[in-house]
A and B are shown apart, each in its own frame.
Chain A
Amino acid sequence: MKTLSFLFFLLCAKFFLTLHLFGTTQHEKEAVNGFKVLEFLGDGKKEIRNTTLALFRNGKQISLGTLIDARGLFLSKASACVGAKFAKTSSGEIVPIRIRKRDPKTDLALLQITESSKVWPSVNWEKKRSKLSEGTWVTCSSPSLSKVYLSTVTGNLREILKEGGVMGVEFNGEDNSSKGVSLEEVFPHSAADRAGLRINDQIVSIDGLHIKSSKQIYDYLGKKDPGDLLRLQVKRKDKRLDVRVTLGHRSVTFDLFNRNLLISGPTSKRKDNFPLVLQHDAPMNNTSMGGGLFTPYGYCVGINIARVDRVTNYALPTSIIRPILGNWLKDI
């Protein structure tokens, strides 16, 4: 079939009345991730496919794994592979697995293929100290293990801080201890809005802590996660009310780009609080984290740890993985 037909879904009705028809041409097969490029990854591609596993729970794929030891030991994303009972290799072999270790700080897990005396392939770690700066080619297995994706490092190597839970309010600028802290703004659909808080409500206490300044609230919320429950006492006109607020995600509550979440499809549940990440733009999904990230030659430079949005995945670099793995292997 030669033509691609596009159905336009207008998010903004004012825009774009013309209909574009684009042909699929020979060169598209040669584009990044196209047939030709991948064919040329050659041995590197074999290396990637042989060492990546797909993990299943109740017949559904939930993550990928990366073989790191001939005994069938492999790494995955801890919060994504909970309850995985079986893994599938790229050649279609199905094997039982069990969890061995877990590291909450990095969200890495070590698992093992059980009931197998086979010598398993394992990744070759990249030994060259390359900088992996923006623009560096990286490859990884596609979610279905049928293909290998080529992408580039797209942002700075960095720490991803904990996101924290939010109420979705703005406080009155004047901190006056006698008056407490009052709400200047309650964001629509936010946690505060759902709990029934209103503009001008005065926060008297949170979880029994008497509130005198907005800084106190920020400090307290900084230790909380989305989903945590807060018990608030507020003053509304002459009434005192008890209000329970279940904190929301910062990115969902305040994001100008909420639509980006819609466009992006499912993302990883945990995508924050990592000591160091490499960012890349392979078209992965939330059930394909835990697989390895490789050079075009097939040397492993990291483990995919979070799908963030349509253009962003995080991978833990080997500098973070190897010390943890070293400790784990001592006990096994």
Chain B
Amino acid sequence: MNNLVCNLFVIFAAGLISIHSQPNQDQEEYLEDLLGVQKKIQSLLPMLKQSVVAIESVDGAGSGVIVTEDGLVLTAAHVIGERGKEMTVILSDGQRVNAISKGGSEISDAGMIQLEGNLKWPFAEMADSSKALANEWCIALGHPNGYDPKRGMVLRTGKILSTKDETIRTNCRLLGGDSGGPLFNLEGKIVGIHSRISRSPDDNFHITIESYISNWEYFLSEEILTFNKLQGGGFLGVACEKSENGLRVLSVVPQSAAEMAGITPMDELLRLDSIPLDTREKLTILVSSKQPDDTISLEILREGKEKKIKVSLGKRSQ
């Protein structure tokens, strides 16, 4: 594992944004709104900070957020690197606690850590899935450049720019060390976890909280899902996007198990072996944890009608 920890991945953005709009709201009113946002954030901060932690391991550092009373911490997969690693977690009051890494996934970059000791930990609430809406105000907390008691954890206020698949994009400026820290909405609930950045200061990427909720048990109990590990498992052969009922098929790989089973674009995948498909990552996890030639049962929605089909899985081409 080369220094995965504390990595925020740089993405070079090339593009043009053309801007033209007319102000249609009173200036005074808008400034009042801004001050309202400030007030709201400042009233939430003391409570939110209690749940945010710094994470240290031998080869780097990151951030995280406690989400259960018994001390489960959400962070990024590239902060923990692998399952079963002993790590040190620093609480907001500076107290150091031993912790052990759980699972996660390289697909979404989601990861988990468990604090050790039978204590009741301060924790933050997670938002319901799909609650990260574009143009909503958001607050990023974390430890850029690592833990610094004099500076404290660092606040960034921004807006959600877009949400696509496992990724939320915001203009909350992040830096190495922020990875794994929480993105909150103005209700004080976690909507995302910091993951990657781009060269442009206003493009910052966070894992959706939905990625965690959808694959909770898997992340808790299994090894981290790596791209390497995907290679050996079963292969369906569809590209999807999240849809109202499940996952909408965008394209089907020629000669794949999906094509043989007659799956076509615009089909919606609802359940796999009776398990609801709410994220693309879940589909990948379920399929790749099977072996090539295993048979799965898929419930799909086609032209308004539900259908159940059997699919004999294939092998991922190298």
Interface residue tally of chain B, by bracket? 35 or more
The distance in angstroms between the C-alpha atoms of A152 and B157, with both chains bound, is 7
- A25 located at the interface, meaning its Cβ lies under 8 Å from any Cβ of chain B in the complex: yes
Q: In the complex the two chains form, is A9's CB within 8 Å of B10's CB? A: yes
A202 to B150, CA, bound (A): 35
B9 touches A10 (CB 8 A): yes
Segment from A56-64, A121-129, A257-265 that makes contact with B: A257-265
B158 touches A260 (CB 8 A): no
Contact B171 A31 (CB under 8 A): yes
Please name all residues of chain B whose beta carbon is closer than 8 Å to the beta carbon of A257 when the two chains form the complex.
6, 61, 145-146, 175-177
Judged by a CB distance under 8 angstroms, whether A30 is at the interface is: yes
B155 contact set on A, CB distance < 8 A: 134-135, 152-155
State whether A155 and B23 are in contact (beta carbons under 8 Å apart), knowing that A22-B169, A24-B15, A257-B146 are contacts in the complex.
no
Q: Which of A108-116, A224-232, A307-315 contacts B (4 or more CB under 8 A)?
A: A307-315
Report if A6-B157 is in contact (Cβ < 8 Å); known contacts: A279-B151, A283-B173.
no
Known: A7-B14, A40-B31. A311 touches B173 (CB 8 A): yes
Asked if A137 contacts B159 (CB within 8 A), the reply is no
Query: B9 to A15, Cβ gap below 8 A?
Result: yes
Question: Which residue of B11, B18, B145 is within 8 Å of A260 (Cβ)?
Answer: B145
Determine whether the beta carbon of A35 is less than 8 Å from that of B19.
Answer: yes
**Contact partner, A155, options B18, B152, B167, Cβ 8 Å:** B152
Q: Interface readout for A1-15 with B: 1 if CB under 8 Å, 0 if not?
A: 101111111111011
CA distance A153 to B155 in the complex (A): 8
Closest-by-CB residue of A relative to B152 is A156
Residue B162 at the chain A interface, CB threshold 8 Å:
yes
CB distance from B170 to the nearest CB of A (A): 9
Within B1-40, the residues touching A (CB, 8 Å) are 2-4, 6-21, 23, 25, 27, 30-31, 34-35, 38
The total of Cβ contacts below 8 Å across the A-B interface reads 204
Q: How far is the CA of A34 from the CA of B30 in the complex (A)?
A: 14
Q: Which one of B146, B176, B202 lies within 8 Å of A263 (CB-CB)? A: B176
- A134 & B45 in contact (Cβ 8 Å cutoff): yes
A144 CB–B CB distance under 8 Å: no
The residues of B that contact A134 with a CB separation of less than 8 Å are 42, 45, 152, 155
List the 7 shortest-distance A-B pairs measured between CB atoms, nearest first: A4-B15, A40-B30, A27-B135, A42-B27, A31-B159, A283-B201, A1-B16
Interface residues of B (CB under 8 A from A): 2-4, 6-21, 23, 25, 27, 30-31, 34-35, 38, 41-42, 45, 60-61, 78, 106, 109, 134-135, 144-146, 150-159, 161-162, 164-165, 167, 169, 171, 173-177, 196-199, 201-202, 226-228
Using a CB–CB cutoff of 8 Å, the interface residues on chain A facing chain B are 1, 3-12, 14-17, 20, 22-37, 39-44, 133-137, 150-156, 158-159, 255-257, 259-260, 263-264, 279, 281, 283, 296-297, 309-312
User: Can you name 26 A-B pairs with beta carbons within 8 Å?
Assistant: A4-B14, A5-B14, A5-B15, A7-B14, A9-B11, A9-B12, A11-B7, A11-B9, A12-B3, A12-B7, A15-B9, A16-B9, A20-B167, A22-B161, A32-B159, A135-B41, A136-B38, A137-B38, A152-B41, A156-B151, A256-B146, A257-B61, A257-B175, A260-B175, A310-B197, A311-B173
